[in-house]
Copies of this chain bind each other. A is one copy, B any other.
Amino acid sequence: MIPQPTEKELDILQVLWAKGPQTVREINDQLQSEKEIGYTTTLKLLQIMHDKGLVSRELNGKTHIYKSIVSESATQQKMLDKVVDKVFKGSAMNLVMQALGNSKSSDKELDEIRAYIDQLKNDKND
């Protein structure tokens, strides 16, 4: 079983999900724009993630090109499950309500969610 990424590992996965496979240098450059972080720190994290099976890598000349193995949506789901379990007493509905309540969502977005709900209800009654 692939373990859940830690917080800093998630930062890296975000970069990989957003921009696709990249070198350590490229990934580090992007993290830099957020916060000071040493090159070897990023490298080490990627090596650890490789050991864990979170990313794969491919040799190109002498540099490795890292690629996320875990999908964004699967990771999102696991993170959600954890939050639901840890702070929403296991109720995903609770979470949805809270998220809707405090997000400055537009009418259009709310309509989208309504439409999605209707679709879910239909799918179920087939």
Contacts and interface: CB of A to CB of B under 8 A. Distances in A.
A121 B102 contact: no
A98 interface: yes
Query: How many protomers of this protein does the assembly include?
Result: 2
B116 A114 contact: no
A99 B107 contact: no
Given A93-B103, A103-B93, A109-B93, A88 B117 contact: no
Given A80-B95, A83-B83, A87-B75, A110 B100 contact: no
20 contacts: A14-B89, A18-B89, A72-B87, A73-B98, A79-B86, A80-B95, A80-B102, A92-B102, A93-B109, A95-B99, A96-B99, A97-B113, A97-B116, A99-B99, A100-B113, A105-B120, A107-B124, A110-B121, A114-B114, A114-B117
